[in-house]
Structure 1
Amino acid sequence: MENHSLAIDLEPLIAALAIEPIELPDVCQTLNSFQWAGVFEGLTNDQRIKLWAFIPVELQSTVLAVMREDARNQFIAVLPQQVIAEAISSATNAEVMGILDVLPKRTAAKLVNKLDPVMQSVLETSLSYSSNQVGRYANANVYTVNEKASVKDLINEIKSSDITNDGGSYFVVDDSLIYVGEVKISDILNSSQKTDVKELVIPNEKVILDQASLLEASDLVRGSNKAALPIVTKTGVFLGQFSIHDALDVFQAHYEEQLAHMGKVSDEDLFAPVAVSARRRAVWLGINLVTAFLASFVIGIFDAVLIEVVALAVLMPIVASMGGITGSQTLTLTIRGLATGQLGKGNFKVLRSKELKVAAINGVLWAMLVTVVTMYWFDNPGLSSILALAMVVNMTIASFAGIMIPMILDKLGIDPALAGSVILTTVTDVTGFFVFLGSATLLFIH
């Protein structure tokens, strides 16, 4: 993953997409594929579809490949197959794999059949590896030299082709595509043209086995002081290369994944459909609910010696905890959007509306479950009702606070990542207890 901080202000672009005919801001003419990826991540799918027609064909595959995974998944799901086929026709192996991985198997198979036989063969090899093995993403689009070639033939071939090389050397293989080593460009230019390449080969033991994990491969490249390392099978067959650029992408993705897990939202698209976001977060909310009931059970051990009102204290942690995790999920997405420049006045209302709907859906879902549990536990319909009400209200308000707090702090010049969670916890606790205990007071105190 690249750093997707935006190079442009999204608001003029969003405004331009809302007017027919569409006239993009002049700054869009200078964006590269990584900057376009950042732009697309800050838009809704409807806006992405409108903008896609303006992306240069030669950039399209890279734009899709470097978008954050969830944003790419949501976008590809609404792109016509023909449009995807055109985008991957000129893509690298790694880019094609990133796109095919998110498509239904039948759709992916149809697209592969439209590619040239050489690319199909390469993809078949790539698909034999798991999503975490470096062999799946080996860049086969790299120039290799046969050890039997002469310096003269090699120089003539280089001059007559579009071969480029930024690493200062070429990978050398034998007739069976077994990796032999590398040959420096400087040695080629300084040698007699009658010299065979095999006489200039420098054996290189620094290789990456095809079944190594992406992080292992990235560490190997980083420690090699080379622009790229060859990827080989156990028998030494050359599959392609893994570059320092690829390694940086992996490290970036891993870093963002660790940060996102703090809010239990992974790499979620800012504008993923409400149903998708609700389903993903429901799992974590369920886990959190179990821990909340555990805390309540410990307190409830002493209910035999307490009067009925103590049942409120037993259930209070559930209200606060469910509101807290709901707010933290929205808080994480909002802070990421602000940090990358993908969230501003132009799309703030869209995100706020989506987050409130997600919170309301999950609030009702888990409130229904809580109602059943508390009815069985305390056999008190009134108590179950006010607990369910408090959960829905607190989770909805927590989601609203999760997006408003970072926005306000950002305007005040305060880092939302440092202060946001503290303020959010206060809001969710106060709101949850006020609604829960206030409702109980109206119900039980006559």
Structure 2
Amino acid sequence: MNENSLVNVNINQLIETLAQPDFALPDEYGSLNALQWATIFESLLNSQRLALWPHIPSELSSSILSEMREDARGHFLSELPQANIEEAVFSGTNAEVVEILDALPQKTVVRLVNKLAPGTQSQIETSLSYSDEQVGRYADQEVYTIASTALVRDVLREVKSAEHLHEGNSYVVTDASAKYLGEVNINDLLNASAKQSIAELVHLPETQIDAEQSLLDASNLVRGSQKAALPVVDGHGRFIGQFSIQDALSVFQEYYESQMAHLGQVSDEDLFAPVVLSAKRRAIWLGINLLTAFLASFVIGIFDAVLVEVVALAVLMPIVASMGGITGSQTLTLSIRGLATGQLNSVNYQYLRRKEFLVAALNGAFWAVMVGILAYFWFSDVFVSVILASALLINMLVASLSGMAVPKVLDKLGVDPAIAGSVILTTITDVVGFFVFLGSATIIFLR
């Protein structure tokens, strides 16, 4: 039995166990890690989560909360007693604490931060000064740093006594004002004179991360650097912390999971979120979709006379919209992926747009001929065949251009293309397809 199926079996067993007045968790639950516990909590109702919480290992509480998906974590914390929240905050790492605080009301955040130890409080406040889209919020501040004025012998003594030799091959160097100066390699330290200053050995890495950069951009920088971690600095050059390849992988995983969720316009919604809240969220996009559907229907209504005269048009009309929609979604997917990975920029955008236009032209010409021939044998009307083929080709070309343009425009407007892109693209292909198809038919058949 694999790990995932074990968790699923335990969830079913757990739901039955939680229904008992005085329950005790089976022994196998003692071996679960924080991620497995988080998966279990996401699979329970809030009332069941609250009943289970006192029975989990207290040392895992902060890790479990940070591993839970954002929406599920928020709903759970909204009902979790304050004493339990404080326990999780005071026992967690800085990264875990930031994740937990993100889901709490501002007044509660201020109160909890003020209760932390001065050093931890300063680090948390630095993290919270950045938005949840900026890398400065999630940089690891618990990094061993060396003062540039220190001597080699003193640093080696401290490093060996603190057992930091196992943390990496180089160490961060800062000045008295915490400004980032670079790194010093452990081999350089071991080969240097004992009385040499660290400032003589420091070297500046090729790549640094601005604390205000987006998480995705920072992750791409780390991935391309071939290093385990990169330094994160603020606008004044002060060292904030490090962003590691493990952090980058987590960002990539969360991002692509969110893109898949956005395809259904349900985002990272808690499976057991309140009915009213879920309905409200989805109603927004259903309403937008309804408006776009009315727009397409309005275009069809303009040409109702020709539809009455030529019934074949009503039969063939969905083909035009469907082929345009598929073509556009293929280009839209590539465009969104390019924006997400940083591969698509102002330099190569024009090339990709031309390439996608040519792909759509080749496919459009081929399928326009095929569909035109089939339509002729079906309805024995050459005009219907020509109109269908022409509308199909035009709509596929427009869909290709729209698939490139829509994500770029939405991204500049600060709207997630993965959420809104498909709705807008479908509207464009439907309206253009119906207008060209029925408009051409009106000119030919009702002239």
TM-score by length of 1: 0.63
Partner of 1:39: 40
CA distance in 2, matches of 1:30, 1:187: 43
Partner of 1:25: 26
Partner of 1:155: 156
Structure 2 CA distance for partners of 1:7 and 1:234, relative to 1, 3 Å: farther
Structure 2 CA distance for partners of 1:302 and 1:221, relative to 1, 3 Å: closer
Superposition deviation, residue 112 in structure 1? 1.3
Structure 2 CA distance for partners of 1:190 and 1:57, relative to 1, 3 Å: farther
CA distance in 2, matches of 1:12, 1:80: 26
CA distance in 2, matches of 1:292, 1:37: 40
CA distance in 2, matches of 1:201, 1:7: 50
Partner of 2:380: none
> Once the two structures are superposed, what CA deviation does each residue of 1:20-51 show, in whole Å capped at 9, x if it has no partner?
43322333222222222222222221222222
Q: Is the 8 A contact 1:167 1:228 kept in 2?
A: no
Partner of 1:66: 67
- Further displaced range: 297-306 or 137-146: 297-306
> Once the two structures are superposed, what CA deviation does each residue of 1:76-105 show, in whole Å capped at 9, x if it has no partner?
111122211111113233322222222111
**Structure showing greater relative contact order (alpha-carbon pairs closer than 8 Å, 6 or more residues apart):** 1
CA distance in 2, matches of 1:72, 1:257: 16
Query: Which structure 2 residues correspond to residues 382-393 of structure 1 after superposition, within 5 A?
Result: none
> Once the two structures are superposed, what CA deviation does each residue of 1:103-144 show, in whole Å capped at 9, x if it has no partner?
111111111111122222223322332221111222211111
> Once the two structures are superposed, what CA deviation does each residue of 1:267-308 show, in whole Å capped at 9, x if it has no partner?
01111111111111110111121122223333444668999x
Structure 2 CA distance for partners of 1:195 and 1:57, relative to 1, 3 Å: farther
Partner of 1:273: 274
Q: Is the 8 A contact 1:92 1:141 kept in 2?
A: no
CA distance in 1, matches of 2:191, 2:35: 38
Paired residue secondary structure (1:53): helix
Paired residue secondary structure (1:21): coil
Superposition deviation, residue 205 in structure 1? 2.9
Query: Which structure 2 residues correspond to residues 23-422 of structure 1 after superposition, within 5 A?
Result: 23-161=24-162, 163=164, 165-301=166-302
Q: Greater CA radius of gyration, 1 or 2?
A: 2
Superposition deviation, residue 165 in structure 1? 4.7
What letter corresponds to residue 67 of structure 2 in structure 1?
A: V
Q: Is the 8 A contact 1:6 1:39 kept in 2?
A: no
Structure 2 CA distance for partners of 1:34 and 1:197, relative to 1, 3 Å: farther
CA distance in 2, matches of 1:286, 1:306: 28
Structure 2 CA distance for partners of 1:151 and 1:76, relative to 1, 3 Å: same
What is the percent sequence identity of the aligned residues? 58
Partner of 1:348: none
CA distance in 2, matches of 1:140, 1:130: 16
Structure 2 CA distance for partners of 1:34 and 1:122, relative to 1, 3 Å: same
CA distance in 2, matches of 1:274, 1:161: 53
Paired residue secondary structure (2:280): helix
CA distance in 1, matches of 2:269, 2:191: 53
Structure 2 CA distance for partners of 1:92 and 1:275, relative to 1, 3 Å: same
CA distance in 1, matches of 2:35, 2:165: 21
Paired residue secondary structure (1:182): strand
2:1 pairs with 1:8? no
Q: Is the 8 A contact 1:151 1:188 kept in 2?
A: yes
- Further displaced range: 117-126 or 67-76: 117-126
Q: Is the 8 A contact 1:167 1:226 kept in 2?
A: no
CA distance in 1, matches of 2:114, 2:141: 19
What letter corresponds to residue 200 of structure 1 in structure 2?
A: L
What letter corresponds to residue 8 of structure 1 in structure 2?
A: V
Where does the alignment leave 5 or more consecutive residues of structure 2 unmatched?
Answer: 309-313, 319-447
Structure 2 CA distance for partners of 1:66 and 1:29, relative to 1, 3 Å: same
CA distance in 1, matches of 2:193, 2:181: 21
CA distance in 2, matches of 1:160, 1:304: 89
Q: Is the 8 A contact 1:12 1:25 kept in 2?
A: no
Q: Is the 8 A contact 1:183 1:200 kept in 2?
A: yes
CA distance in 1, matches of 2:198, 2:54: 47
TM-score by length of 2: 0.63
CA distance in 2, matches of 1:306, 1:69: 50
Structure 2 CA distance for partners of 1:32 and 1:162, relative to 1, 3 Å: farther
CA distance in 2, matches of 1:121, 1:22: 42
More helix, by proportion: 2
CA distance in 1, matches of 2:165, 2:35: 21
Q: Is the 8 A contact 1:6 1:38 kept in 2?
A: no
Q: Is the 8 A contact 1:61 1:87 kept in 2?
A: yes
CA distance in 2, matches of 1:164, 1:17: 47
CA distance in 2, matches of 1:215, 1:5: 28
What letter corresponds to residue 276 of structure 2 in structure 1?
A: A
Structure 2 CA distance for partners of 1:262 and 1:139, relative to 1, 3 Å: same
- Further displaced range: 196-205 or 268-277: 196-205
Q: Is the 8 A contact 1:221 1:244 kept in 2?
A: yes
Superposition deviation, residue 201 in structure 1? 2.3
Paired residue secondary structure (2:121): helix
Q: Is the 8 A contact 1:169 1:183 kept in 2?
A: yes
Superposition deviation, residue 166 in structure 1? 3.6
Partner of 2:324: none
What letter corresponds to residue 214 of structure 2 in structure 1?
A: S
CA distance in 2, matches of 1:157, 1:57: 33
